[in-house]
Amino acid sequence: MRVVKDVVCPFCGCLCDDLELEIEGREVKAVRNACAVGEAKFLHYGKHERTRPMIRKNGELVEVSLDEAIRKAAEILAEAKYPVLFGWSSTSCEAVRVGLQLAEEVGAIIDHCSSVCHGPSVLAIQEVGLAGFTLGQSRHRFDLIIYWGSNPLDSHFRHFERYSTFSEGRFRPSISRRSITQFLSTLAERRIKRVTRRLLIKEREEGFYFGARRAPSGPFKERDRKLIVVDVRRTRAAKMADFFLQVKPNTDYEIIQALRMLIRDMELDVDEVAGIPVEVLEELADILVNAKVGVLYFGVGLTMSKGKHRNIEAAISLVRDLNARAKFHILPMRGHYNVTGADVVITWTTGYPYAVDLTQGYPRYNPGETSTIDVLLRDDCDAFLCIASDPVAHFPRRAVENMLKHPLIAIDPVVSATTLVADVVIPSAFSGIEVGGTAYRMDHVPITLKKVFEPPEGYLPDEEILKRILAEVRRIKGKAAEALVPAGA
């Protein structure tokens, strides 16, 4: 048995790098420090159904040699007039770098999962900027933490513990790990209290909002770090919050704008905003302006509700305005472990973070025109390469229908909805388990992924596969160019 320390977890944007694995042979026996998903990722790593190199012939996927699958993929790409290379957020930056070369060579659109999650955040940043930070700042300094449209307890499990509410920092020592256990044990008690209180107060509208609890009980008595949650439903995180604001779906924009008015000490013409009484918002605004150092973490609940990038723009502006009164920050809660990395690599190579169109030999960027979903909905592309992602399972139906009209290449370590319907399947090694490389945490901190196992025979790293496809494309294009030159010239 061997023990590998400080392993990086290739699951979510938290990119925890303190995992400890106990390994016997090709099997992980125990995982320490990880969250449930991270643990499962390693424990069940060997139990997935792995892909084999395959090509669709006469409507059926037939197993072929890896070289043949790569050759076929290259032929499709070299022939295509408007191919899309999509995926990238669950593979290493090294692979993305080769992907960009491939996109340039074939004249393709390169796009990644930002396009369908935090793309709106990027558009908003391009309008107004972003007051960002690395997560250690959150742990050391922040005394007010807001989660808006994001439930870290169900998506970024260790975010609370490592970086925010429950973390311990140099200037924020009041909450220790000890108090978490204490806190959890008092949770039930608190819930009972809350129910009783609700019955007593008889809130104006059933279950609509909770005001701030001015005298917190239990371990939070001396704590100086507040937690605010804004969401459309009472999530697990909301249950732990000092202040929970339940908003109606698709009304975030109005509420943020109202808050911006209030923190500027301006009066509102209305008594309630999207069903929430102005007094409640005033209470919230009070907490905001009285913070010393605060942060707003937002999730897909904000980026994908009505208004999309306008919501984020408003949220960023709120934080920017708050900087006149306190130090305030904002950060998108990125999902896939290297979606930030894909953003970063594509940006330094092309100047733009996602939805980059290289079909005309130089980078062009206009989400809405060059973003994958829009390209698919307009039925513009004529070939699709998908790497380390499963769009068939997640894209809108009409987009998938259009995608399936044209050749589809899937590069993936395991069988997925996409590999099942693809025309070419190329098996790859697991990034972050069988291949190392670089990934970027949600706050742009680059961390080197650890290789824990050798990949099985015939499973190449994404980087290597792409290099081979690129070489093959160059060979095909070179031949075509030769054919154009008249004999004897």
Partner 1 sequence: MAVLLIKNGYVYDPINGVDGERMDIAVKDGKIVEDVDEREARVIDASGMVVMPGGVDIHAHIAGAEVNAGRLLRPEDHVKDVEPRTAITRAGVGYSIPSTFTTGYRYTRMGYTTVMNPSMPPLEARHTHEELSDTPIIDKASYPLLGDSWFVLEFLSKDMIEECAAFVAWMMWATRGYAIKIVNPGGLETWGFGGNVRDLNDEVPHFGITPREIVRGLCKVNKLLNLPHTIHVHTNNLGVPGNCETTLKTLMCVEDLAEDGERAIHITHCQFSAFLGDDWATMESGAPLIARYMNRHSHATIDMGQVIFTDTTTMTADGPFQYGLHLLSGNKWINHDVETETSSGIVPFRYRRTSRVHATQWCIAQELALLIEDPWKIYLTTDHPNGGPFTSYPRIVSWLMSVKAREEELKRMNRRAVKRSVLPTIDREYSLYEIAVITRAGPARALGLENKGHLGVGADADIAVYPLNPEEVDPSRDYKLVRRAFSRAAYTIKSGEIVAKDGEIVKAPDGKTYWVDVKVPEDLWEAVKSEIAEVWEDYYTVRFSNYPLTDHYLKISSPITRQARM
Partner 2 sequence: MATITLTPKYSFTVPVYAPCISPDSFAGKTLKEIGELEVWEGNRRKKLKQLFDIKGKTADTPEEITIKLSGNLWKVRRIGEEMTAGKILIDGDAGLHLGVKMRGGTITVKGNADSWLGSQMRGGTIEVMGNAKDYVGGAYRGSGVGMRGGTIIVHGNAGYDVGEWMRGGFIKIMGNVGAYTGVHMQGGTILVQGDSEGRIGALMKGGKIVLMGKIDSILPSFTIQDLKKRTKVEGEAVEGPFYVFIGDLTEDGSGKLFISKKSNPHLSFYERLI
Which residues here bind partner 1, judged by CB under 8 A?
Answer: 5-6, 8, 17-18, 93, 97, 101, 104, 122, 125-137, 139-141, 162-163, 168, 170-171, 292-293, 320, 323, 326-327, 329, 343-345, 347-353, 358, 360-365, 438, 440, 444-448
Which residue's CB is nearer to partner 1, number 99 or number 363?
363
Which residue's CB is nearer to partner 1, number 17 or number 254?
17
Which residue's CB is nearer to partner 1, number 17 or number 242?
17
Which residue's CB is nearer to partner 2, number 106 or number 385?
106
DSSP for 360-388, please give it.
Answer: TSS-EE-TTTSSHHHHHHTT--SEEEEES
Contact 333, 152 (CB under 8 A): yes
Least distance (Å) from partner 1 to the CB of residue 102?
12
Segment 319 to 378, residues that bind partner 2, using CB under 8 A: 321, 359-360, 365-369, 378
Least distance (Å) from partner 1 to the CB of residue 365?
6
Encoding tokens for residue 142?
């922040």
CA quadruple 165, 166, 172, 176: dihedral, nearest 10: 160
Which residue's CB is nearer to partner 2, number 351 or number 458?
351
CA-based angle 445:355:256, to the nearest 5? 70
Q: Is 470 helix (H, G, I), strand (E, B) or coil?
A: helix
Q: Kindly state whether residue 306 participates in binding partner 2, applying the rule CB under 8 A.
A: yes
Encoding tokens for residue 422?
């693809």
Q: Which residues pair with 427 in a beta bridge?
A: 412
Q: Which option in partner 1, partner 2, none does residue 317 bind, with CB closer than 5 to 8 A by kind?
A: partner 2
Q: What is the largest CA-CA distance in the chain?
A: 96
Figure out which of the listed residues 127, 154, 203, 224 binds partner 2, where binding follows CB under 8 A: 127
Encoding tokens for residue 2?
């061997």
CA distances from 420 to 47, 68, 416, 417 (A): 18, 18, 6, 5
Least distance (Å) from partner 2 to the CB of residue 466?
18
The b/e string for 385-400 (b: 16+ C-beta within 10 A; e otherwise) is bbbbbbbbeebeeebb
CA distances from 460 to 155, 434, 435 (A): 30, 9, 9
Encoding tokens for residue 195?
């129910």
Which residue's CB is nearer to partner 2, number 377 or number 415?
377
- x-or-dash pattern for partner 2, window 235-274, by CB under 8 A? ------------------xx--xx-xx--x-x-xxx--x-
Contact 111, 84 (CB under 8 A): yes
Q: Which option in partner 1, partner 2, none does residue 359 bind, with CB closer than 5 to 8 A by kind?
A: partner 2
Q: How many residues bind partner 2 (CB under 8 A)?
A: 40
Which residue's CB is nearer to partner 1, number 329 or number 406?
329
Contact 159, 241 (CB under 8 A): no
Least distance (Å) from partner 2 to the CB of residue 59?
22
Instruction: Tell me how far apart the alpha carbons of residues 113 and 87 are, in angstroms, rounded to a whole number.
Output: 6
Least distance (Å) from partner 1 to the CB of residue 239?
26
Which residues of the chain form contacts with partner 2 (CB under 8 A)? 80-83, 106-108, 123, 126-127, 253-254, 257-258, 260-261, 264, 266, 268-270, 273, 306-307, 310, 313, 317, 321, 359-360, 365-369, 378-382
